Chains A and B, each alone.
Chain A
Amino acid sequence: MPLGYIAKRLLQLVAILFGVSVVVFLMLRMIPGDPAQLLLGEFANPEELARLRTQLGLDRSLPLQYGIYLQNLLQGDLGNSIRTNTPVAAEIWGRLLATLELSLAAMFISTLVGVGAGVVSAVRPHSAWDYGAMFFALVGVSMPIFWLGLMLIYLFAVKYPVLPMMGRLPMGLEVPAVTGLVMVDALLAGQPVALWEAGRHLLLPALTLATIPMAVVARITRSAMLEVLNKDYVRTARAKGLSEAAVILRHALRNAFLPVVTVLGLNLGLLLGGAVLTETIFSWPGLGRYVVDSLMGRDYAAVQGCILVFAAMMAVINLAVDLIYVLLDPRIRVNE
């Protein structure tokens, strides 16, 4: 693995994060709305407002505010939330894990179903299955997921109440937090009931969040597989008398994986965006909802922290995708 390449990419990452931090900082200050006024509400008088603004450091000049922010940031301190006065890093961490659990579940569903449907479609092109799957995939990529989520809630929580509509566990049920991922924690604690309940709570939001990536993965898998299945080495494998399953799994799918990996990687970005909507609908205590709430509350430090985390995750994922690319296909050279 070319270490120089990785180092260069990491450097770029730092530069982008720095840029993002400046952009977010400035944009936040351009948003109309005074955090002090928001905190105090309609019953505050002007002196109380002015005092709070001073205490929050909002009366300092912008460059000074940014300087202080950057200085703290370099020491690993994301600052304190204006609304709750707690360290933003701690607030973000718990919610990040909630988002992570949701995203991983969605990723799992979308990969499993998407790759499966795509492979079957490619193996039997122009069959009823193929048309059916691809039509559903097309509906999937066109789906307003906030609507889908609501309709799922109506169907499975209101009309036929078989699944919970919000939260991560039933009220009153507790799992000792080790990893912060409730299903994993339930496993570790050996609590089958909690595991089952956590799964039930996760199902609807994960399905909602998985819809678009699932459809995208199905489409890309199908076309990548179709291309590979026509290649000489697959024909050779077939001619050698290998079973069809072996041909598809061992030769075709492996080579079709490259574009699929890219799409999967890019999908994590999609998932993070989708999390904002899904978490809002399902009252999932994750980062997506937190960042929107913080923005509405003009909680500058919290928003800055969240965006940095989001941006860092996206950048790291992109880097990982590129590296996996190299691993899967040594012919690809790393200089672009």
Chain B
Amino acid sequence: MSRWEGLQDLMRNWSAAAGMAIIAAILVVALAGPLLTPHDPLVPAPLDRLQGPSSAHPFGTDSLGRDILSRVIGGARISILIGVISVTISLLPGTLLGLLAGYFGRWIDSLIMRCMDMLLAFPAILLAIFITAVLEPNLTNTMIAVGIVYIPHYARIVRASVLSLKQQLFVQAVGHLGGSHTRILWRHVLPNCIPPIIVYATLGMGTAVLQAAALGFLGLGAQPPSPEWGAMLSEGRQYIQIAPHVAAFPGAAILLLVLGFNLFGDGLRDVLDPSLRSQ
């Protein structure tokens, strides 16, 4: 299957196409953010606080009188960044650990996977809360925490692929021809693990955005006056009775972005790796 055909397949898959459209739209908003925002997302106007949606402020204003539309737009960039960076943080060590565990087996496998089990013994959000508390709460540390939490997931997936590859003849054949471990891992094992990793990473971005927003909601994520969606939502909670719009819009934005990643990830899975479909 050539690359081009793959892309065509992807476009024909409605789920992938819809997901891509959502992500692309949010990406454009994120990149063009400062040009689009009708107001400065950070400058308060305390006397205009908690106004409902109007033509001047389509999403209304928050408790400091800032324009919520502008803040939601400003937050798009942060959320996409969170998705990409935290997935990278879990992906790289996760893949490496999975490769090592699966390829070398024996005590290396046991050691690595038992450590992973220990991380998995915590509910994800709790572990993330813990790590942010240790590192002190801010945006960077949120990404690190969410990244660390999902390392075991990548390790497990990669290990499973490696184990099934090892059964296949060509790796054994290469081994007999005298290739070094590094070379075998890099040239033969890793490339075959890539499809499931890509699928999982795409879905993982959605999860990462959700988790980071949850941390923001609990006050452990991005710090004020940053327009991070979870933090905005957390502020809106206080005004659910008098100004529900403060919570409504940032939450809807989170849902849309995560939905985009999940649609795209589902589509990718169908195209790249039909065998994974049932998982």
Which chain A residues border B241 with CB–CB below 8 Å?
A: 154, 158
Asked if A146 and B123 make an inter-chain contact with CB atoms under 8 angstroms apart, the answer reads no
Q: Residue B124 at the A interface, CB < 8 A?
A: yes
User: Nearest Cβ in chain A — how far from B17, in angstroms?
Assistant: 14
One digit per residue, 1 when the CB lies within 8 angstroms of any chain B CB and 0 when it does not, for chain A 251-289 equals: 000000001000000000110111011001100000000
Asked if B251 and A224 make an inter-chain contact with CB atoms under 8 angstroms apart, the answer reads no
**CB nearest neighbor in B for A146:** B217
Asked if A224 and B278 make an inter-chain contact with CB atoms under 8 angstroms apart, the answer reads yes
Asked if A223 and B278 make an inter-chain contact with CB atoms under 8 angstroms apart, the answer reads yes
| Stretch of B53-61, B166-174, B255-263 on the interface side | B255-263
Asked if A310 and B247 make an inter-chain contact with CB atoms under 8 angstroms apart, the answer reads no
Please judge, given known A-B contacts A151-B248, A158-B240, A224-B278, whether A272 and B123 are in contact too, CB under 8 Å: yes
Asked if A19 and B118 make an inter-chain contact with CB atoms under 8 angstroms apart, the answer reads yes
User: Nearest Cβ in chain A — how far from B234, in angstroms?
Assistant: 8
Q: Residue A307 at the B interface, CB < 8 A?
A: yes
Q: Residue B134 at the A interface, CB < 8 A?
A: yes
User: Nearest Cβ in chain A — how far from B72, in angstroms?
Assistant: 13
Q: Residue A141 at the B interface, CB < 8 A?
A: yes
Please report the C-alpha to C-alpha distance between residue A269 and residue B121 in the assembled complex, in whole angstroms: 9
Q: Residue B104 at the A interface, CB < 8 A?
A: no
One digit per residue, 1 when the CB lies within 8 angstroms of any chain B CB and 0 when it does not, for chain A 10-48 equals: 000001110110011001001110000000000000000
Interface of B is mostly: helix
User: Nearest Cβ in chain A — how far from B60, in angstroms?
Assistant: 14
Which chain B residues border A196 with CB–CB below 8 Å?
A: none
Asked if A138 and B122 make an inter-chain contact with CB atoms under 8 angstroms apart, the answer reads no
Please judge, given known A-B contacts A223-B278, A277-B217, whether A150 and B247 are in contact too, CB under 8 Å: yes
Please report the C-alpha to C-alpha distance between residue A242 and residue B212 in the assembled complex, in whole angstroms: 51
User: Nearest Cβ in chain B — how far from A12, in angstroms?
Assistant: 8
* Among B121, B129, B133, B259, contact of A16 (Cβ-Cβ < 8 Å): B121
Please judge, given known A-B contacts A138-B259, A151-B248, whether A307 and B122 are in contact too, CB under 8 Å: yes
Please judge, given known A-B contacts A150-B240, A158-B244, whether A269 and B123 are in contact too, CB under 8 Å: yes
Which chain B residues border A259 with CB–CB below 8 Å?
A: 278
* Among A31, A144, A151, A314, contact of B121 (Cβ-Cβ < 8 Å): A314
* Among B121, B206, B214, B259, contact of A311 (Cβ-Cβ < 8 Å): B121
Which chain A residues border B266 with CB–CB below 8 Å?
A: 138
Please report the C-alpha to C-alpha distance between residue A223 and residue B218 in the assembled complex, in whole angstroms: 35
Asked if B125 and A146 make an inter-chain contact with CB atoms under 8 angstroms apart, the answer reads no
Please report the C-alpha to C-alpha distance between residue A32 and residue B236 in the assembled complex, in whole angstroms: 28
> Which of B233, B236, B237 has the most A CB atoms < 10 Å from its CB?
B237
A 280-336 contacts with B by CB, 8 A: 280-281, 291-292, 295, 307, 310-311, 314-315
Q: Residue B188 at the A interface, CB < 8 A?
A: no
Q: Residue B277 at the A interface, CB < 8 A?
A: yes
User: Nearest Cβ in chain A — how far from B263, in angstroms?
Assistant: 7
User: Nearest Cβ in chain B — how far from A206, in angstroms?
Assistant: 18
Which chain B residues border A310 with CB–CB below 8 Å?
A: 121-123, 126
Q: Residue A179 at the B interface, CB < 8 A?
A: no
Asked if A307 and B126 make an inter-chain contact with CB atoms under 8 angstroms apart, the answer reads yes
Q: Residue B40 at the A interface, CB < 8 A?
A: no
* Among A147, A153, A292, contact of B251 (Cβ-Cβ < 8 Å): A147
Tally of B interface residues using CB under 8 Å = 44
Q: Residue B210 at the A interface, CB < 8 A?
A: yes
One digit per residue, 1 when the CB lies within 8 angstroms of any chain B CB and 0 when it does not, for chain A 141-166 equals: 11110111011011000100000000
User: Nearest Cβ in chain B — how far from A35, in angstroms?
Assistant: 13
Asked if B118 and A23 make an inter-chain contact with CB atoms under 8 angstroms apart, the answer reads yes
Asked if B121 and A277 make an inter-chain contact with CB atoms under 8 angstroms apart, the answer reads no
User: Nearest Cβ in chain A — how far from B185, in angstroms?
Assistant: 23
Asked if A150 and B122 make an inter-chain contact with CB atoms under 8 angstroms apart, the answer reads no
Asked if A147 and B121 make an inter-chain contact with CB atoms under 8 angstroms apart, the answer reads no
Please report the C-alpha to C-alpha distance between residue A16 and residue B113 in the assembled complex, in whole angstroms: 11
Please judge, given known A-B contacts A138-B262, A142-B262, whether A147 and B233 are in contact too, CB under 8 Å: yes
Q: Residue A227 at the B interface, CB < 8 A?
A: yes
One digit per residue, 1 when the CB lies within 8 angstroms of any chain A CB and 0 when it does not, for chain B 193-236 equals: 00000000000001000100110011000000000001001001
Asked if B214 and A144 make an inter-chain contact with CB atoms under 8 angstroms apart, the answer reads yes
Please judge, given known A-B contacts A147-B255, A150-B240, A273-B124, whether A223 and B118 are in contact too, CB under 8 Å: no
Asked if A144 and B213 make an inter-chain contact with CB atoms under 8 angstroms apart, the answer reads yes
Q: Residue A189 at the B interface, CB < 8 A?
A: no
Asked if A31 and B255 make an inter-chain contact with CB atoms under 8 angstroms apart, the answer reads no
Please report the C-alpha to C-alpha distance between residue A273 and residue B127 in the assembled complex, in whole angstroms: 9
User: Interface of B with A (CB < 8 Å)?
Assistant: 114, 117-118, 120-126, 129-131, 133-134, 136, 206, 210, 213-214, 217-218, 230, 233, 236-237, 240-241, 244, 247-248, 250-252, 254-255, 258-259, 261-263, 266, 277-278
Closest 7 CB pairs of A and B: A147-B251, A273-B123, A142-B258, A311-B121, A142-B259, A223-B278, A273-B125
Can you give 14 contacting A-B residue pairs, CB < 8 Å? Answer: A16-B121, A32-B136, A138-B262, A139-B259, A141-B262, A144-B255, A144-B258, A146-B251, A151-B251, A223-B278, A270-B123, A273-B123, A277-B214, A310-B121
Contacts A269-B123, A307-B122, A315-B121 supplied; 15 other A-B pairs, CB < 8 Å:
A17-B121, A20-B121, A27-B130, A138-B262, A142-B261, A142-B262, A144-B233, A147-B252, A147-B255, A154-B244, A223-B277, A259-B278, A277-B214, A292-B218, A314-B121
